[in-house]
């Protein structure tokens, strides 16, 4: 082909390319629909939000920033190790991580609509006609030829009104909502494991106390029988000791069962069979000396469920914009470039070139109100999401306030029982002194010791409730998950299993 022929072929093609470049500049300049604005949620909490620090015997509530890795505040190595295994092995967390992977893939699907789509084709066909056939486009009657073709087909819808941009924005918010789901699961499961750990420790301590009390009562029963035999005791006193012993014995199976349930719950959470080595021997954790509760406004970023609700609202607003964009014309650019010949040797000869390129415009002229109703649906969904966000934050504030009150009340109960235990210990000392002086019997000393064990058991239960209340407060505060923006570096750890 001569150079002049090349210019003849490509002059209109080059013009269309320049036209496409101009459209590229225009594309995306306008985005219709409402823009998301973070709602003012300052009125979603009570005015007396724990305005003053709450001080108690062991733990104080302060307006300082809450701890993120709150499980480390108990200074219990076994608990920290179990939480690490939970984050690495829990099945629910693994499922939540896959939901993040899915959401990111869906965003990739949406983003693909922003770019041109190009398909490449290659074909070889044999065409022929019969002697009497009428064929105005193929070979002559009775002839047969081979047809070789190779080329590309491209299409691109220009996002003039931001429809695809809004869908991509919604997809980004969906990813953040999935991060919220993951964070909510992480916080909830960590709290559930910590509660199970505290229950197991408390039940372990109560079983030790119960065995100690059984030993004292068996000794008291032997002495009562001896006194009955020598005539210094009554059958009534003997039966009272026997009844008390049987009553205490009846508690042991339930405590063993409850401890087994707590151990099984922990094992399920970390994805391992329950064994004795799961929790080494130990005592109840110590409560932290100070708990920062922050401010109500912090909950929108600290609480994973609130963050999830906010992102769901933002995604719903973006989808309103995508629906509004359907009212406007859609401009697309399509083209094809083929080489077609009857000889494989000349497949890329410019004389065998066939091409087409041009814009296309589609305008929704009549759709029986479908677009209008779709917009109304999206607007209603956005309003539902906004109300859900308000309700979620209000619930979060209520949970923090309830948990904070519970922490203070539980600590007061522990303080009272500590004083009761101190009195019971003094009672045992006095009984032992009177026994040494010959003023009391050994049975009365044992009774005082049993009474003290009963107080110690009540104190352990109160400490169990105290620690459980603190854990629930940490859960209500939302500590224990990442709150950074999309594209966080922590996603690499999420994909491989979060071990923090």
Q: Assign 3-class secondary structure to 425-457.
A: HHHHHHHHHHHHCCCCCHHHHHHHHHHHHHHHH
* Residue appearing with tokens 């100070």: 290
The pLDDT-based confidence of 414 (bands split at 50, 70, 90) is very high
Give me the mean pLDDT over the 73-89 stretch. Answer: 93
Q: Residue 1 pLDDT > 50, yes or no?
A: no
pLDDT reading at 286 higher than 60: yes
Q: Is residue 89 part of a domain?
A: yes
297 pLDDT above the threshold of 90: no
Q: Does some domain include residue 317?
A: yes
| Residue 490, pLDDT above cutoff 70 | no
Q: Which of 22-31, 74-83, 260-269, 363-372 has the lowest mean pLDDT?
A: 22-31
Closest CA to 313 of 377, 376, 375, 388: 388
216 lies in some domain: yes
Please state, in angstroms and rounded to a whole number, the distance separating the CA atoms of residues 201 and 93.
25
Pairing mode, strands 330-341 and 353-362: antiparallel
Residue 227 lies in a domain: yes
Question: Helix, strand or coil for residue 291?
Answer: strand
151: in domain: no
For the stretch 100-143, pLDDT in tens is 999 999 999 998 888 888 899 888 888 776 666 655 566 666 67
Confidence class for position 344, pLDDT limits 50, 70, 90:
confident
3-state secondary structure of 150: strand
Region 145-159: what's the mean pLDDT?
86
Q: What are phi and psi of 117, to 5 degrees?
A: -105, 125
pLDDT above 80: residue 296:
no
Per-residue confidence (pLDDT) for residue 169, from 0 to 100: 93
Give the pLDDT of residue 436.
78
pLDDT for residue 448 is more than 90: no
Where is pLDDT greater, at 196 or 66? 196
Q: For position 62, what pLDDT does the model report?
A: 78
Helices (H), 333-484: 370-436, 442-477
Write down the residue that tokens 């594309």 correspond to.
Answer: 27
pLDDT of residue 6: 47
pLDDT value of position 38 = 82
- Distance separating alpha carbons of residues 78 and 86, to the nearest angstrom: 12
Mean residue pLDDT across the chain: 82
Average the pLDDT over 249-277 and give the result.
89
- Cβ atoms 401, 49 nearer than 8 A: yes
Report the share of the chain in percent with pLDDT over 90. 38
Higher pLDDT, 367 or 375: 375
What's the CA gap between 91 and 238, in Å, rounded? Answer: 55
**Residue 308 structural domain:** 54-116+162-328+383-496
Residue 392 scores a pLDDT above 60: yes
Q: Is the pLDDT of residue 222 over 60?
A: yes
pLDDT at 134: 59
Per-residue pLDDT, averaged over 347-361, amounts to: 83
CA angle 83, 494, 268 (to 5 degrees): 40
Rounded to the nearest 10 degrees, the angle between the axes of helix 91-112 and helix 163-230 is 180
pLDDT band at 84 (very low <50, low <70, confident <90, very high): very high
Structure tokens at 296: 């109500």
Task: Tell which wins on pLDDT, 278 or 57.
Answer: 278
Structure confidence at residue 4 (pLDDT): 47
Q: Which residues fall within 8 angstroms of residue 398, CB to CB, at 6 or more apart?
A: none
In a domain, 343, yes or no: no
Domain assignment present for 396? yes
Q: Give the pTM.
A: 0.79
Binning pLDDT at 50, 70 and 90, where does residue 51 land? very low
**Residue 249: pLDDT above 80?**
yes
Q: Is it the case that residue 13 has pLDDT exceeding 70?
A: no
Predicted confidence at residue 18, as pLDDT, reads 58
- Checking if the pLDDT of 354 tops 60, the result is yes
CA distances 28 to 13, 23, 120, 144, 170, Å, are 24, 10, 27, 51, 16
Which DSSP helix (H) or strand (E) runs through 248? helix 235-270
* Mean local confidence (pLDDT), 371-378: 94
CATH number at residue 247: 1.20.1600.10
Rounded mean pLDDT, 386-399: 90
Min mean pLDDT across 45-49, 272-276, 447-451 is at 45-49
Percent of the chain clearing pLDDT 70 (strictly above): 81
- Taking only the tens place, the pLDDT of each residue in 457-487 is 999 999 999 999 999 999 998 876 654 444 3
Number of domains composing the chain: 1
pLDDT (0 to 100) of residue 14: 58
pLDDT digits (tens, 9 = 90+) for 176-220: 999 999 999 999 999 999 999 999 999 999 999 999 988 888 887
Reported as a pLDDT band with limits 50, 70 and 90, residue 256 is very high
Q: What is the pLDDT at residue 103?
A: 93
b/e map of 117-135 (b: 16 or more CB within 10 Å)? eeeeeeeeeeeebeeeeee
Joined tokens for residue 71: 């499980």
More confident residue, 401 or 63: 401
Tell me if 199 is assigned to some domain.
yes
Residues whose CB falls within 8 Å of the CB of residue 348, separated by 6 or more in sequence, listed in order: 150, 339
Which residue shows structure tokens 């308000």? 390
């Amino acid at each position: 082909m001569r150079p002049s022929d090349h210019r003849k072929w490509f002059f209109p093609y080059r013009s269309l390319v320049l036209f496409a470049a101009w459209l590229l500049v225009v594309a995306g300049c306008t985005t219709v629909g409402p823009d998301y604005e973070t709602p003012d949620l300052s009125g979603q909490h009570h005015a007396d939000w724990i305005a003053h620090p709450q001080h108690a015997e062991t733990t104080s509530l302060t307006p300082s920033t809450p701890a993120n890795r709150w499980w480390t505040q108990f200074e219990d190595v076994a608990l920290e190790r179990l939480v690490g295994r939970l984050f690495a092995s829990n099945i629910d967390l693994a499922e939540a991580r896959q939901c993040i992977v899915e959401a990111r893939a869906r965003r990739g699907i949406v983003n693909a609509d922003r770019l041109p789509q190009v398909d490449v084709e290659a074909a070889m066909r044999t065409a022929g006609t019969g002697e009497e056939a009428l064929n105005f486009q193929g070979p002559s009657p009775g002839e047969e030829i081979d047809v070789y073709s190779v080329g590309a087909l491209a299409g691109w819808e220009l996002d003039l009104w931001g429809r695809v941009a809004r869908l991509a924005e919604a997809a980004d918010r969906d990813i953040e909502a999935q991060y919220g789901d993951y964070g909510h699961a992480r916080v909830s499961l960590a709290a559930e494991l910590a509660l199970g750990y505290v229950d197991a420790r408390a039940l372990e301590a109560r079983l030790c106390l119960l065995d100690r009390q059984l030993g004292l009562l068996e000794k008291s029963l032997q002495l009562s029988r001896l006194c009955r035999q020598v005539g210094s005791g009554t059958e009534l006193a003997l039966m009272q000791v026997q009844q008390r012993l049987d009553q205490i014995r009846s508690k042991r199976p339930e405590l063993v069962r409850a401890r087994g349930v707590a151990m099984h719950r922990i094992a399920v959470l970390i994805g391992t069979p329950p064994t004795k080595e799961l929790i080494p021997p130990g005592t109840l954790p110590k409560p932290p000396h100070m708990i920062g509760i922050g401010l109500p406004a912090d909950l929108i970023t600290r609480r994973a469920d609130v963050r999830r609700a906010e992102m769901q609202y933002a995604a719903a607003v973006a989808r309103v914009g995508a629906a509004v964009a359907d009212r406007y014309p859609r401009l697309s650019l399509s083209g094809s470039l083929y080489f077609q010949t009857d000889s494989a040797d000349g497949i890329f000869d410019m004389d065998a070139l066939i091409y087409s390129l041009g814009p296309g415009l589609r305008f929704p002229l009549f759709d029986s109100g479908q677009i209008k109703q779709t917009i109304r649906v999206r607007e209603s969904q956005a309003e539902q999401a906004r109300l859900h966000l308000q309700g979620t934050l209000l619930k979060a504030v209520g949970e923090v306030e309830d948990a904070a009150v519970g922490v203070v009340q539980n600590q007061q109960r522990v303080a009272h029982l500590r004083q009761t235990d101190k009195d019971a210990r003094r009672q045992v000392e006095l009984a032992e002194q009177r026994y040494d002086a010959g003023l009391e019997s050994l049975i009365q000393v044992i009774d005082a010791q049993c009474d003290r064990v009963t107080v110690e058991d009540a104190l352990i239960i109160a400490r169990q409730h105290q620690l459980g209340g603190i854990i629930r407060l940490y859960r209500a505060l939302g500590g224990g998950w990442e709150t950074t923006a999309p594209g966080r570096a922590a996603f690499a750890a999420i994909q491989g299993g979060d071990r923090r």
